[in-house]
Amino acid sequence: MRDLAEVKALVSAAVIGELADRVSAAVMGRASDDAIRALLTEWRAYVREHPHRYAAVIQRPEPRAAEPGARLLDAINASLHGLGLDETTAVHVARCLRSTVHGFVSLESEGGFGLPVNLDESFELLVTMATAGLRAALQEG
């Protein structure tokens, strides 16, 4: 019988794999702001459909999640294709996008947004801020 830590790691890897498949399909054939928008929107859609699965994801490096984690990172990097980023900048941008969407979807799925204001409008603003902020940062750099 497997211990609880191993079961959690296996569940986490499976969820990351599902998320990777979804966001990969969403960004395929897209570029620039459209690809980033698709990435963030599909990530949110997955979490809205499967909040308990997403809550089971181990957020630190986990060996069993290496392969699906690499596929998720490939999807994130695919959304950045065409922006002309060097490898280090791409890592920074990927971290920022992941942090942004993870923070929003985690708060949303846990009921952390208590004010009676439309969450879809908030998410749309977040996406707009992320894409505009990225463009501005790249122009400065």
* 112 phi/psi in degrees, rounded to 5: -80, -5
Q: pTM of the predicted model, to two decimals? A: 0.94
Parse the chain into domains and list their residue ranges: 4-140
pLDDT for res 82: 85
What CATH number is given for 4-140 in this structure? 1.10.357.10
Residue identified by tokens 């859609």 is 45
Read off the pLDDT of residues 57-97 as tens digits, 9 standing for 90 and up.
998 988 999 999 999 999 999 999 889 999 999 999 999 99
Those residues of the chain that have pLDDT short of 50 are 1
